Amino acid sequence: MNKETPTVKEKAIYQAVVDLFMEGADLSELTVSEITAKAGIGKGTAYGYFSDKEDMIARSICYNVDQYCHWIYQGITEQKTLYEKIDFLLGKMEKEISKADCLMRLSNTMSMDSVIGKRIRQQEVENNSKNPPLELLEAVFEAEHFTPPLSEEMLQFLARNALSRIFCYGMMLSNNSVRAQRTAAVQKTAAVQRTAAGQKMAAAQEAEMQAMHRLVCMGICSDADAVRHWLSSERG
C-alpha cells in the first residue's frame, strides 16, 4: 500500500474528488475547476501538485482506496483465524455501507479500461505498487503460513477469488440498504397492517444478509482449505 504522505493541499484534492463522486458526479465528466472549488484551492496551486485532471482523479482514487484498506487491515491483524478476519472485514462494510459502496465503485474504476483506469495502472507500474484491495487480501492469506509457501500465482488466485466474493456481498449489501430505505419510507405512510408486513419483510431481508455473510466467510475459508489440501497432496 502507498507509503508516501501527501501534502495538505493534495489531501484536499483527494477528499474533494471523493466528495464529488459520492454526490453523484461522473468522474469522467469532472472538471479541474469543480475539483479545486470543492477543495478550496486555486487551479494554479493545484497544477503545482498534479499534471492534469486525470492525474488528480487517479491519485485521489488510489489514495482513498489505499487508506480504507489500511484502516481495515489494522483491525484484521487483531483477529486470529481466517474466518474471523473475513467476518471482521464484512462487519466493517455493514457498519459503513455508504463508504464501503463508494470504495467498491472506486476500486472498480481502477480496473476499468478507461483513461483514468489506465492512468491508475500506469502509476502502479511506475510506483511498483499493487491494487490495494488485492494487496490487503494477499497479506491476509500470506499470514496463513501455507506449507509449502504459496506461489505468487496461487496467492493471487486466492486473493482475487476472495475479492470477487467480497465485492458480490458488498453489492448485495448496498441493494439491501436501498430496499430497507424504501421500506422505511413506506412504513411512515402505511397503515398498521402494512407496517407490520414491512417489518416482517425487513427481518427476512436481514436474515438473508446474515446468511450471505456467513456463506462468504465459509466460502473463502473453504478455498484456503482446498489449496492447503492440494499443497499437502502435491508434497506427498
Distance (Å, rounded) from C-alpha 59 to C-alpha 110?
11
Q: Collapse the DSSP code of 165 into the 3-class scheme (helix H, G, I; strand E, B; otherwise coil) and give the result.
A: helix
Whether 134 maps to a domain, the answer reads yes
Whether 3 maps to a domain, the answer reads no
In the numeric block, the cell 476499468 is attached to 112
Confidence of residue 181 (pLDDT cuts 50, 70, 90): low
Residues 6 or more apart from 60 whose CB is under 8 A from it? 13, 14, 16, 17, 18
Helix %, strand %, coil % for the chain, to 5? Answer: 80, 0, 20
> Which range is least confidently modeled, 45-49, 119-123, 224-228?
119-123
pLDDT digits over 132-163, tens only? 899 999 999 999 999 999 999 999 999 999 99
**pLDDT at 25 > cutoff 70:** yes
pTM for this predicted structure: 0.81
**pLDDT at 15 > cutoff 90:** yes
Whether 148 maps to a domain, the answer reads yes
The one-letter amino acid at 87: D
Number of domains in the chain: 1
Whether 2 maps to a domain, the answer reads no
Supply the mean pLDDT for the chain: 86
Please give the residue range of the domain that contains residue 90: 8-235
pLDDT digits over 186-209, tens only? 555 555 445 666 677 777 878 888
In the numeric block, the cell 492534469 is attached to 52
What pLDDT is stored for residue 192 in this prediction? 46
DSSP class of 113: S
Whether 201 maps to a domain, the answer reads yes
Positive/negative CA dihedral, 157, 161, 164, 170: negative
The terminus-to-terminus CA distance of the chain in angstroms comes to 37
Query: Where residue 78 sits, what CATH number does that domain have?
Result: 1.10.357.10
The one-letter amino acid at 180: A
Whether 97 maps to a domain, the answer reads yes
Residues 6 or more apart from 97 whose CB is under 8 A from it? 173, 174, 177
Q: How far is CA 104 from CA 43, 57, 101, 163, 184, in A?
A: 29, 16, 5, 10, 25
